[in-house]
Each structure stands twice: as structure tokens, then as C-alpha cells.
Chain A
Amino acid sequence: MLALVPATIFVYLLGLIGVVADGEPVRIAFAWIPSLGLDLSFFIDGLALTFALTISGVGTFILIYAGSYLKGHPHLGRFLAYLLAFMGAMLGLVLADNMLALFGFWELTSITSFLLISFDHRRQAARRAAIQALVITNLGGLALLLGAIATQRLLGHWDLSAIRAAGGTLGESSVYLLVLWLFLAAAFSKSAQFPLHFWLPNAMEAPTPVSAFLHSATMVQAGVYLLARMTPILGETPAWTGILCTVGGVTLLWGAFAALRQTDIKLMLAQTTIASLGLLVFLIGIGSETALIAMVVYFIAHAAYKAALFMIAGIIDHETGTRDLTALGGLRDKLPLTFIATILAAISMIGLPPTLGYFSKEEMYLALFGGQWQGILGLAVLILGNALLAAAALIIAIRPFMGRLGVTPKTPHEAPLAMVVGPLALGVGAVLFGFFTPWFDEMVLSPTSSAIAGMAIAAHLHTGIDPLNPILWLSLLTWALGGLAYWKWDQLRTGLRRAAAAPGLSFDHGFDVFMFGLIRMAGALTRLWHHGRLELYMLVIFVLLALALILPVLGLSGLPAWPELPALHFHEAVVVVLALAGLVSVLFARTRLFAILALGAQGLAVALIFMLFGAPDLSFTQLMVEILSVVILALVMTRLNLDVRDSRSLEEAIRDGAVALLCGVGFVMVLLVVLGQPFNGRLSEFFTRYSTEIAHGRNIVNVILVDFRGLDTLGEMSVIMVAGIAILALLRSQVRKPLDPTPVRRRSPRKSAAKSVAGDVAPKAKAAPKARAGAQTPRRRTRKAGPETGGAGA
């Protein structure tokens, strides 16, 4: 039923084909974020339409297939929802005109891909594959973001259509290479180009419909799409051609060889997908008309046969319980419809006429034929790659179906129709297209390749088979090589396996090394900075404090001058000495009580200083606060057996002392600077002037407190109130302590502690069985070391 959604979209888009082929791209825009100048704009030209049709077309069959493939799975609904979400994102990606919207859809495809790969989340391999895919594609996505912003900065538009319309190109820009690499990083990561290719085979952990849809036909093609899309803006430079051809060629060969190494059908298909992606990138890199035409044809052909083959792999897996090519065989009679579909898809993959695969091969050889040494090298790469792919196709088409019936975990039966219809239709389609080449040329190929190249291209596929055409001989060579590779597959496979194992290190393993290295480094750094030692946290702060105080003064004004101010009187000096003596006594106090006493003496001295300099209210308050502090300290100390002596080693004490001294000196210096400046007393003058007249109070300080700046006081009294609440809560929390599951190590000798034990044990005993029975009774004083208390006490 859900398949109706993509089907409808497909039909709708099909209706646009004529319009687009007439050279009238459709643009739809909604005002999205006017403040950033962003429209949510969609642009449908040939390129977008081809991709969108592929996505919705393949998507239709995939959804039909998936419903049957995962029948009875508890999370089928979840799966289909993710799949639909992915399809929406993918369609958005290819249709989006705005680069930021494109980036958004790009990331959405990564995320939905993550969810789909990890669908079978019970296996670590699936989780690993999902994370790997997301981590790699997300890094590429971020590069895309940077590239998009840079492009907008350089060319002035967010909309690609507007850039193309203005003929914007970055080829001559001084930062061209940087921007190019940003886009390439995005495309290569998404399209699994060497050396970022390794996530794609792992992504085969996903259920087969996902592999068929995301990791062959659509999502991985997003990188190809991006490159095609950016060709008019970034392309046709030596760097472009060089990088794309090199990377694409290497990927093609790497994937093709790796494919023949596999025995798992899905993995083999995944590797051929990598190879095909390399091929597409290679063709875009060449960028000539024929190459682009070849690329478009190959893209369509590949999407059709690869999706079909993946679905077939799924059917085989589903029906036999294994995907191992060496164990399979003789399924021809058991799965006749599947066999037909396989043959059709394989023909296209091998590139036999009259399939699309054939045409694409012809075109690509044509594109390179007769070039310089680069062309010949490229041609060789293409032929070798295509030959290996053909071998893989032969293997997949023949091995499971011919020969003796293999011993498989499940007895094979033909799959339900819903599963077979997709591969069949796609296989037939791949073949049928070959018979409608004129229509195909006009309606699909020309608009698409024109859109890529940014200029009009009239595509024309060479349908005739002309023995004099050297290209045909190249095709024959390809098939011959492919046949040879198929014939010698077993030897080849062993050899390749040995070669792959030789370095002892694979890219895939490298990812683990990177991730675990990152995690280890993260752990080490975190332990380094967040070690849990309060005194060092503080030390950092005070070092910064010293720098903050000293550097600006030294840097901007030099050592401050000693301002000319009146000296102290004797009694004032005595008070200062008292303060100092109090300070030093606090430092050297050997017992708690002495420390408190010294603190009191120092506080008294401060109060006297306030008094001597005309601040009776302050003095008053300071005295009261000091006395109450001493009282509270004494009350607390009676309950504790604390040692106030310094436990620092001498070196630590010197270090701390130096930092503290620097801070102190810094404060003095900045105070001297401030004191050297004229004072702006206008606030106080105002308060003095109006205190009595308007606020009716003669005590100016009090008037400031309750009237001029009453809000401060309101906040302050609420601080006091909250402190009261908080302290009571804190104190009350300790009554529960004897009920801790862990034994109490220390208990104050007071009687009330014993009382509270006696009073609290009973309710706990009553409450415990209830709690075990699951009743959520709010218990008053019992504390449970549950999750909400942060698992404390454990």
C-alpha cells in the first residue's frame, strides 16, 4: 500500500518529462528564511528529473518488496517509515535548488541511512556499520556545508540555478582548489570513493531492501549527483579531470577486484557498486559530451540492474537462508521467476546488446578512444574494470542457479510475487530501454547531459552494430576478459584474498584504529583536565586571575604610580596591624578554635576600619555578621573533628603561595591605577542631595538600601531566605543517613542521632515490601539509591 506513494510521485514526475525535455526546467520556490535570503526552492531539469525518476521508480518496487521481505517483523512499520523518510530526503536532495536545502537533505539521507543500517540493532556489526557510515558521510556533509557557503560567498547566490544562469564558475578563483576539495570530500564520502569506500560493504548489514535502495541505486549516487550538479561551476579544469579520473579509476579497479574476492552475494554486489560509482566519477571527470552521455546511461542502467540484483540476493537469502556463493547452486528450477530476472539484470550488467548497459559501455569507450596516453590508460582501466564487473555478473547469474542443488539451511521455494515483481520489472526495463532509443535520447539523455554540462547536448546513442567500429572490438575484448575471469574465478579469488590479507591492515580496520584512538585520546584528555581535584581546578582559576590582573596593567600603563594621599593615623595603623595579625593567625592556626578566633579578630578589625572611615552601618553589620559567623562556625565545629593544619608539601605551598602573592600584588596594582584616576562621584552626590528631601530619610546608606536601590536589597533578602531553605534542606537530608544501605562509618555522639534511628527504622521496614511489590508509595524519609538520586551510595 505504501508503495503507492512513490508510485504516485513517479507518475507525476513522468508527466514532467516532456516539459523538461523542451528545455523548460521547472522551478518551485517557497519563501523559507527571508532573513538569511533563503528560499526553499526546487529545480527540476533533466538531471534532477532523471535521478528523481530513478529514485521513485526503484523506490516503488523496493517498498513492495520490503513489505514482503520483512513480513511479520515486529518493527516493520518503523522500517517502512524510515524507508519513506529516506526516499523523501533523497528526492529532496536531487530536486533542491538551494544549496543549503541540498545540504539539509544530504544530511537527512545520512541519518535515515544510519537508522536503516542499524535496523537490526541487536548485532554489534550492524551498529558499527551504521556509526561508520554516519561518521564518514557526516564529515563529508560538513565539507559540503563549507563548500556551499564558500560558493555562495564567491558567486553570490544560494540557488544553483541562479548561479548557473549567471554563468558563475569558480575555475579562475584563487581559492578554487580549496572549494573543489570541499565538494569532492562530500561527494567521495557519500559515493564511497577510494579511500573512503570501506563503509559501503559494511552497510550491507542493513536488511536487503535497504542495500538495494540506498546503497546501490540512490543514496550512494548522491555524490555522483553532486559532482554532476557542480560540473558547470567547478568542472572542466585540469584539477577536476585529474582528481576525478584518478580517484574514480582507482575506485573502479579496487571495487572490481574486491568484488571477485567475495563469496557472499551481497558483499560482492556491494563491491561492484563501489566499482560502478568509481566508473561514474571517472566519466564525470572526463567531462566530454560522450562521457557525460555514457555516464547518464550507465547511471540509469546501473540503478536498474543493481537494485534488481540486490533484491535477488535478498530473495535467495530469504528462501535458502544463505548468501554464500560457494554453497548455493541449482536454484534454476526452484526459483524460476527469480532466475529470469537474474539473467535479465546480469545481461545489462555485462553490457550485452541491446541493454542499456551495452550502450553505456559503447559510449564510454567512445569517449576515450583515440586520446593521448591518459586516454589510453583510462581506456585500459575501463576495459579491465568492466571485464571484472562482467565476471561478477556471470558469477551471480550462474553460480546459484546452475549446477547441482546446494545444501542450504532452508528448503528453497519461489519467493512471493511481491518480492519477485521488482527484479523482474527492473530487469525487463533495462532490456526494453534498448528498443526505445530515439525516445530515450530525446526525453532523457539530452536534457540530462545538457544539464550536467551546462550547455545543450544532443545525445544520440549508436544503436547499430557495425563490425568495422573499433569500439565493438573493445566490447568484445571486455567480454572475453570477463569470461576468462569467470572461468578462473576460484583461483583468482584465492589469489586476491591472499593479496588483500598481505598488508595486514585494511581500511576498514583503520577505521577502528582511528575510532579507538580517538576514544582513548578523549579519555586521556578528559582525565587530564577533569581529574576531580578541586584544588587544581582552583589553581588554574587563580593563575588566570593573576594574569588577568597583572598583564593589562603592565602592558598598558606600566607600574602604577604611588598616589599622593594622606597617611594613616596611629590608631588607624593599629587597626590595620590587627587585621594583618588576624590574617596571619588564620593561616598559621594549629587548632580549629584558634582559626575561628583569628577569623573573628580579623573581622573585628575590618569592622573597625569601616568605622574609622565613616561607615557606621557597615561597621555595625560587619560586627554582627562576624559574631554570627563565629557562632555558626563554633556550632558546626562541635560536631566535627577537623584538622585545620595545612597538609600541603613545601613545594606545593610555595607554588600556591606564589600564585596567591601574584594575585594579591595584582589587586594592589590595579587598585593603585584606579585610585590614580579622578573619581566620578555623581551617583553619591545625587543620593546625598535627595535622600532627605524626597526619600525622607537622613541615613543615606539606609535610604539607598531601601529606596534608591531597593531592588538590590530585595534580591539580597531573597538570597538570605533561600540560604535558609537550602541549609535546612541540607541538614534535613542527613537524618536519612542511618538508613543508607551502606553501613554508617561515623556517627555523631549526640542522642538525637540514636533517636532518629529508632524513629525511622519502623517505617522503612513497613515500606520495603510494598516497594518490592511495585507500589509507588511516596516514602517520606527513606532514601533509595535509585536512578533519580544519581545512583549515589553505590
Chain B
Amino acid sequence: MNTLIFRTIAPLIVAVMVVFSIFITLRGHNEPGGGFIGGLIAAAALAILSIATSVQQARRSLHIHPLVFAGFGVFMAGVSGMVSMAAHAPFLTGLWLELELGEAHVALSTPLFFDLGVYLAVFGALGAVILGLETDGEID
């Protein structure tokens, strides 16, 4: 797909999609969205990037092997469930930490990290599949 228009536009779209995916993930707790959808959008962005430029380029722009994202995401979700051990609560108990940073009111919670983990897992695994399909899996 070496058309000029697509190659020029694609990075822009990809950037928008990535930002949008993070946005969707973060607000998922209150509005439609969440880690799954965010991750899927991010993976779609990666697909567009790889089609518009090349797999190698898309892989380079990630810096890290996509499966590392996936592993890290699952690990993060697991950790966010384990935190409740310290609180003498069962696995995956939601713990909330309300931070007042000056004007901003930030709510940090284990479900948030869990959702971020989902995002990373979905993005990583699907990204790996999409890139791998073009290169026989050799995407190191």
C-alpha cells in the first residue's frame, strides 16, 4: 500500500487512534469502553501502521516485542489482584486510593491497573499476531 496519501495520513491516524484508545480505556469505568476496546483499537492502529509503512517499521516503532506488552499486562493485572493480600481481602478486591494533587482529584485504584493490564494484554497479543502474520512470526 505504497500510496502517498495513505503513507502520509496513516501516522496521523495512528497517533489519534492510540490516544483515543488510551482515553477509552481510562474512562471505561464510567462510560462505554475499557481495556478490551482500548486494546483492540490500539491493535487496529498497529495494523494500519504496518499496512501503511511496513512491518519492520511498525515493529521498530514499538521498540519492545509486542508479546512483552502482553506478558506485562497480564502480570500487572495479576499484581493488582494480589495487592489485596496486604489488605487481608480476597484476590482481586478493588482498593481505592484518592489522591488530591493540588486542584486535580485523581482516583488510583486496583481496577484501574487491572483494566490497563487488559489493555496491554489485548494490544500486545493481537499486535504480535498481526505483525507475525506478515513475517512468519519472526518479529524479534
Question: A–B direct touch, CB within 8 Å, in complex?
Answer: yes
Cβ contact within 8 Å between A728 and B137 = yes
Which of B36, B43, B129, B136 makes the CB contact (< 8 A) with A756?
B136
Q: Determine the residue in chain A with the shortest Cβ distance to B120.
A: A717
Measured between C-beta atoms, what is the minimum distance from A444 to chain B in Å?
72
Cβ contact within 8 Å between A705 and B34 = yes
Cβ contact within 8 Å between A632 and B136 = no
Cβ contact within 8 Å between A731 and B30 = no
Among A505-513, A586-594, A623-631, the stretch that binds chain B is A623-631
Cα distance A734–B44 when bound, in Å? 25
Which of A616, A621, A696, A732 makes the CB contact (< 8 A) with B40?
A621
Q: Mark A710-742, 1 if CB is under 8 A from B, else 0.
A: 110110011011011101111111110000000
Cα distance A51–B24 when bound, in Å? 85
Which of B34, B81, B126, B130 makes the CB contact (< 8 A) with A720?
B126
Cβ contact within 8 Å between B29 and A717 = no
Cβ of B94 under 8 Å from chain A:
yes
For window 108-152 of chain A, which residues contact chain B by CB distance below 8 Å?
none
Q: Within 8 Å CB of A616, what residues of B?
A: 32
Which of B71, B115, B130 makes the CB contact (< 8 A) with A706?
B115
Cβ contact within 8 Å between A727 and B132 = yes
For window 684-712 of chain A, which residues contact chain B by CB distance below 8 Å?
695-699, 701-703, 705-707, 710-711
Cβ contact within 8 Å between A731 and B133 = yes
Which of B47, B81, B137 makes the CB contact (< 8 A) with A628?
B47
Cβ of A24 under 8 Å from chain B:
no
Cβ contact within 8 Å between A699 and B92 = no
Cα distance A721–B29 when bound, in Å? 23
Cβ contact within 8 Å between A724 and B117 = no
Cβ contact within 8 Å between B136 and A628 = no
Contacts A706-B111, A717-B121: A620 and B134 contacting too (C-beta < 8 A)?
no
Contacts A696-B107, A721-B74: A635 and B29 contacting too (C-beta < 8 A)?
no
Cβ contact within 8 Å between B47 and A703 = no
Cα distance A624–B25 when bound, in Å? 14
Cβ contact within 8 Å between B81 and A732 = no
Q: Determine the residue in chain A with the shortest Cβ distance to B66.
A: A724
Which of B36, B67, B81 makes the CB contact (< 8 A) with A728?
B67
Cβ contact within 8 Å between A699 and B31 = yes
For window 378-437 of chain A, which residues contact chain B by CB distance below 8 Å?
none
Q: Within 8 Å CB of B29, what residues of A?
A: 696-699, 702-703, 706
Q: Which of B28, B35, B91 has the most CB of A within 10 A?
A: B28
Cβ contact within 8 Å between B128 and A696 = no
Cβ contact within 8 Å between A632 and B130 = yes
Cα distance A756–B137 when bound, in Å? 12
Which of A697, A723, A734 makes the CB contact (< 8 A) with B129?
A723
Contacts A617-B34, A620-B37, A728-B128: A717 and B73 contacting too (C-beta < 8 A)?
yes
Cα distance A304–B77 when bound, in Å? 78
Cβ contact within 8 Å between A713 and B114 = yes
Contacts A697-B111, A717-B122, A720-B126: A725 and B32 contacting too (C-beta < 8 A)?
no
Cα distance A714–B43 when bound, in Å? 19
Cβ of A36 under 8 Å from chain B:
no
Which of B78, B118, B125, B136 makes the CB contact (< 8 A) with A732?
B136
For window 605-640 of chain A, which residues contact chain B by CB distance below 8 Å?
616-617, 620-621, 624-625, 627-628, 631-632, 635-636
Q: Determine the residue in chain B with the shortest Cβ distance to A713.
A: B118
Cβ contact within 8 Å between B94 and A707 = yes
Measured between C-beta atoms, what is the minimum distance from B61 to chain A in Å?
18
In the complex, number of A-B residue pairs with CB atoms less than 8 Å apart: 155
Cβ contact within 8 Å between A617 and B114 = no
Which of A617, A717, A735 makes the CB contact (< 8 A) with B118?
A717
Cβ contact within 8 Å between A620 and B33 = yes
Cβ contact within 8 Å between A731 and B136 = yes
Q: Within 8 Å CB of B73, what residues of A?
A: 717, 721
Cβ of A173 under 8 Å from chain B:
no
Cβ contact within 8 Å between B130 and A695 = no
Contacts A720-B126, A723-B129: A752 and B136 contacting too (C-beta < 8 A)?
yes
Cβ contact within 8 Å between B124 and A632 = no
Cα distance A644–B128 when bound, in Å? 27
Q: Within 8 Å CB of A724, what residues of B?
A: 66-67, 70, 124-126, 128-129
Q: Within 8 Å CB of B135, what residues of A?
A: 731, 752
Which of A696, A699, A713 makes the CB contact (< 8 A) with B96?
A696
Q: Within 8 Å CB of A625, what residues of B?
A: 40
Cβ contact within 8 Å between A699 and B30 = yes
Q: Within 8 Å CB of B31, what residues of A?
A: 698-699
Q: Within 8 Å CB of B94, what residues of A?
A: 695-696, 706-707
Cβ contact within 8 Å between B114 and A710 = yes
Cβ contact within 8 Å between B124 and A721 = yes
Cα distance A567–B74 when bound, in Å? 44
Cβ of B100 under 8 Å from chain A:
no
Q: Within 8 Å CB of B124, what residues of A?
A: 721, 724
Measured between C-beta atoms, what is the minimum distance from A518 to chain B in Å?
47
Cα distance A733–B71 when bound, in Å? 21
Cβ of B138 under 8 Å from chain A:
yes
Cα distance A105–B48 when bound, in Å? 72
Cα distance A231–B122 when bound, in Å? 74
Contacts A699-B34, A710-B111, A724-B128: A735 and B136 contacting too (C-beta < 8 A)?
yes
Contacts A696-B29, A696-B107, A713-B118: A723 and B41 contacting too (C-beta < 8 A)?
no
Which of A703, A727, A735 makes the CB contact (< 8 A) with B128?
A727
Q: Within 8 Å CB of B136, what residues of A?
A: 731-732, 734-735, 752, 756
Cβ of B8 under 8 Å from chain A:
no
Cα distance A698–B109 when bound, in Å? 15
Q: Within 8 Å CB of B40, what residues of A?
A: 621, 624-625, 628
Cβ contact within 8 Å between B138 and A720 = no
Q: Within 8 Å CB of A617, what residues of B?
A: 32-34, 37
Q: Within 8 Å CB of A711, what residues of B?
A: 91-92
Cβ contact within 8 Å between B37 and A632 = no
Q: Mark B40-67, 1 if CB is under 8 A from A, else 0.
A: 1101100100000000000000000011
Q: Which of B73, B77, B114, B125 has the most CB of A within 10 A?
A: B125
Measured between C-beta atoms, what is the minimum distance from A688 to chain B in Å?
15
Q: Within 8 Å CB of A729, what residues of B?
A: 137
Contacts A696-B107, A697-B30, A699-B33: A635 and B130 contacting too (C-beta < 8 A)?
yes
Q: Within 8 Å CB of B137, what residues of A?
A: 727-735
Q: Within 8 Å CB of A636, what residues of B?
A: 133
Q: Within 8 Å CB of A631, what residues of B?
A: 44, 47, 130
Q: Within 8 Å CB of B28, what residues of A?
A: 699, 702
Contacts A631-B130, A713-B118, A728-B128: A721 and B71 contacting too (C-beta < 8 A)?
yes
Contacts A724-B66, A732-B136: A717 and B129 contacting too (C-beta < 8 A)?
no
Cα distance A710–B35 when bound, in Å? 12
Cα distance A435–B28 when bound, in Å? 104
Cβ contact within 8 Å between B122 and A720 = yes
Cβ contact within 8 Å between A702 and B33 = yes
Q: Determine the residue in chain A with the shortest Cβ distance to B107.
A: A696
Measured between C-beta atoms, what is the minimum distance from B118 to chain A in Å?
5
Q: Which of B34, B37, B128 has the most CB of A within 10 A?
A: B34
Cβ contact within 8 Å between B34 and A706 = yes
29 contacts between A and B (CB under 8 A): A617-B32, A624-B41, A628-B40, A628-B44, A628-B47, A635-B133, A695-B111, A696-B29, A696-B96, A696-B109, A699-B30, A699-B32, A702-B30, A705-B34, A705-B36, A706-B115, A713-B77, A714-B114, A717-B74, A721-B67, A721-B121, A723-B125, A724-B126, A724-B129, A728-B128, A731-B133, A731-B135, A732-B138, A756-B136
Known: A705-B36, A707-B111, A717-B118. 9 other contacts (CB 8 A): A625-B40, A703-B111, A706-B35, A706-B118, A710-B111, A724-B70, A727-B129, A730-B137, A735-B137
Closest 10 CB pairs of A and B: A724-B125, A731-B137, A732-B137, A624-B40, A697-B29, A717-B121, A698-B30, A616-B32, A710-B92, A706-B111
Interface set of A (CB-CB < 8 Å, partner B): 616-617, 620-621, 624-625, 627-628, 631-632, 635-636, 695-699, 701-703, 705-707, 710-711, 713-714, 717-718, 720-721, 723-725, 727-735, 752, 756
